[in-house]
Structure 1
């Protein structure tokens, strides 16, 4: 059975898709179906103007409302869906596109399946795994348009010195320019989530600083931000068991006093990179 494209002026109606699938969203399993046509139509438009849409990856296909829109702008779409019932529904609903090899449905957990080489990703992410999925996608260096909980999105895009700025901001910014392009009300979903949502666009670019080892840099960030209320001096000393430093005191003694007297929330990404480089050089990081 193919649902066709005539539900709403050439687009499949999201409510009709839910009815055809015979399902109801289950908040316990992070199933909040996006049903607002205007938001669905705008999601692909948030891609950078020069984005390559030859192969678009969608994480969490649900009943296919966004899949339908992506097929109008992409040469090829791969959708990952964990729910076996929904995965089979997508194959049936979009049988023509599957037959034409324009759509591939991958059944499985987005954190476990092999992801294909994709040119960009547009996804309404399951919120429970949104962070892990984002950081599986960001290192691929492709443009992303992703739906998150609003609070998470704002932390992802935050600037130094703001309340929202933290490890998430620095880590995401290590891979891309990050911006919140649209906030989305609860009413756009069925069932409604407890929180507002937001759409984030990431545009890949190299950071404007150098680090000796990406894994060490990211682990160093994780360590010091566990004590974001402490000065950097104390944060570096107290978290050597997380960062892997064998000689945290050497790092504190070699670093600039002004930097070490600040808290992590007031340290820029470039300053973190310089400190991580110093820590790598003099702090005896084990395993890197």
Structure 2
């Protein structure tokens, strides 16, 4: 790792130099708490490859500055043209030295670089879409979400927060809430508390015949999470694409089909999805 945090830029001063005010309507909530900013890069695993760190939603560059202190190279994505121009000016030296690349555009549309890790204060309105663009890359991530979203990502079967998000995120990585962040850490303040989420990539301890079908199957049954799995599978064939849902119910374990989705573990979902793939006539997969 290169550099240190001792001369980190002041986040409030960056906002003043940029001459901007965060706009909640555009998901602009600048992280201004120095202590949180300083901690974020440290949530990457100790053995993480920081040769090329990706930041999504760079804003005025307070986190960018901290990442430059620990990474060999940083790519920062910012969709606001005014902020992207400010970043290019503020960090001109790092850009000239080849340590920083500013990508102006929407993180859902731009081509992502071959990054080795990501540390980002995500725009909350598209945080789910961005997370599921990053998770399949198999890189360690440190991402800021709304607290409720982060807790749902990290939840285990049987917990109130457990749901489709928990299973799909956990398909790609171990998920942990590293810390909660109060609204006062941002300018302007969001309406809700936030959470820093660590994701450590790993292969799941189960196998599925087709990732796309597995995700569609999860989406289907969780739309009826208050129903038994038996009824959820039957009632959501139009979502999962199953041509023969009754064949799945007949072949599946009776005890499992009597439970509700919120109590079914990822491995049990994988087993059921494999059965559904084999006997349920999943069209298009």
Q: In the aligned structure 2, how far is the partner of 1:264 from the partner of 1:28?
A: 35
Aligned-partner SS, 1:131? helix
Are 2:230 and 1:233 equivalent residues in the alignment?
yes
Corresponding residue of 1:113: 110
Are 2:279 and 1:259 equivalent residues in the alignment?
no
Aligned residue pairs: how many? 282
Are 2:40 and 1:43 equivalent residues in the alignment?
yes
| 1:150-165 mapped onto 2 (5 Å cutoff) | 150-165=147-162
Aligned-partner SS, 2:75? strand
Q: How far off its partner does 1:9 sit?
A: 4.8
Q: Which runs of 4+ in 1 moved over 4 A?
A: none
Q: In the aligned structure 2, how far is the partner of 1:270 from the partner of 1:84?
A: 45
Corresponding residue of 2:138: 141
Map Cα deviations across residues 191-224 of structure 1 (whole Å, 9 max, x no partner).
0000000000000000000100000001100000
Corresponding residue of 2:181: 184
Given candidates 39, 57, 62, the residue that maps to 1:60 is 57
Map Cα deviations across residues 152-195 of structure 1 (whole Å, 9 max, x no partner).
00000001001100000000000000000110000000000000
Aligned-partner SS, 1:223? helix
Q: In the aligned structure 2, how far is the partner of 1:121 from the partner of 1:154?
A: 19
Q: What is the root-mean-square deviation in Å for CA atoms of aligned residues?
A: 1.0
Q: In the aligned structure 2, how far is the partner of 1:162 from the partner of 1:96?
A: 49
Corresponding residue of 1:283: 280
Q: In the aligned structure 1, how far is the partner of 2:274 from the partner of 2:258?
A: 18
Q: In the aligned structure 2, how far is the partner of 1:227 from the partner of 1:97?
A: 51
Q: In the aligned structure 1, how far is the partner of 2:45 from the partner of 2:233?
A: 38
Are 2:34 and 1:34 equivalent residues in the alignment?
no
Aligned-partner SS, 2:47? coil
Corresponding residue of 2:221: 224
Structure 1 unaligned residues grouped into runs of 5+? none
Are 2:89 and 1:92 equivalent residues in the alignment?
yes
Q: In the aligned structure 2, how far is the partner of 1:43 from the partner of 1:267?
A: 33
Aligned-partner SS, 1:73? coil
Aligned-partner SS, 1:45? helix
Call closer, same or farther: CA 1:269–1:9 in 2, change over 3 Å: closer
Q: How far off its partner does 1:28 sit?
A: 0.3
Question: What is the TM-score normalised by the length of structure 2?
Answer: 0.98
Q: In the aligned structure 1, how far is the partner of 2:91 from the partner of 2:104?
A: 15
Given candidates 84, 99, 104, the residue that maps to 2:101 is 104
